[in-house]
Structure 1
Amino acid sequence: MRIIETSARTATVLGDLRTSGRADIPANGIRLLALLAQMGGVPHPLWEVEIAVSRGSHTGKIRMDRLSGHSSENIVILPGDTVQVTHIPRRYAVYGAVARTGNANLNIAHPSLSDLLAEVGGLNDMQAAPNSVFVFRRARKAGEDPVAYRVDFARADAFLLADQFMLNETDIVYVATADASEFRKFIATLLAPVVSSANSVQSLGI
């Protein structure tokens, strides 16, 4: 008997990258980063890209910035694997007395509170209560309480503190106005699930 051909040694690469489809895989496999480069690379910031690798009934996921920084995560891709690349843009929510409210996109790997406030045009001088800039942070895991941080921009060192305060992707920033009723309305309508179990407000630098 003569062997006409062998099973195709390919993996399937899909999603948000320059080229998708089937990729030829050497007999001994190819590392994940090398495979992505072979397909033309990913045209998005590393911190906004999630990679999922499926092999049989198992699937593992990793952020691309972690993949690039940890060689142990750069696994060997074998024939038959499926690689899914997903672009997940980061949006940071900011409300209250700022020039532009809503969800802001920060093209920075590790943005700070000062980066976000600069992106939305800073505090509204006519409305903002500078001693009441809040960052509401959800609990990271079960059993933990959410936390509300307060930054007093009436202090001389507030801008230094804000520059050192790194944001989480699910943080919500609110700049209070002189009208306290607006702050209570914001808490009641948008943040009740986040702060209902928060025991205190932490004032940064105090």
Structure 2
Amino acid sequence: MTFQPVPTLLLFLLLASANSHFALAGKRKVHIPDELDDVFDDEEDDAWREWGKKPEPSFPPSDISKLDPSQIQQEMMKRHAGPVIGFVKLRSGTRRTPDMVAEFAMKWTHVLRTGAVGVRFMGVDLNTIMFNLESIKDLEELKEFVLDQSEAYEIKMGDQFFRRPGDPPLDEVIEKHNSEKGKADNADSEEIDPNVKTEL
């Protein structure tokens, strides 16, 4: 086989011109004229126009005696800046171990921290998990997440309770469960009592 210099030289020139073309393409400059009066920019929305402006101060109502307790609590929450502590009551009637409760708390903490919500959950007992929320601004996201969990029944923060729509208060559920359990225990004891004679 003989070496043919002409095709090799042609291939080399072709590669060199392609490289120079790409090198020049990276150095091209785009010229934007200064006269942009006729350009219509419809990408700005109200949030963009408000960005960077200081928020208007919101003053508390002058007479709070006219407000009901829930409105007073909402006004206080608007001005709350520190951490918030609350409790999650788990569904009753389910057998749990301390390890299961600790696992729920750890899992919920990791998931919400992944979503940039500063919160820490800690197991208190077999039916309660305590949380420490860093900012009240994340309360809605916390409520939505926790009430979406099948293990959780309600959230308690101070005097406020948050449950799924239609769920009765936890006290009613526990009372109903205890009364049903009491009826079952009484039925069992009635079956046994007639057969047992008490001696004096």
What TM-score results when the alignment is normalised by the length of structure 2? 0.21
Name whichever structure is richer in strand by fraction.
1
Name whichever structure is richer in helix by fraction.
2
* Higher alpha-carbon Rg: 2
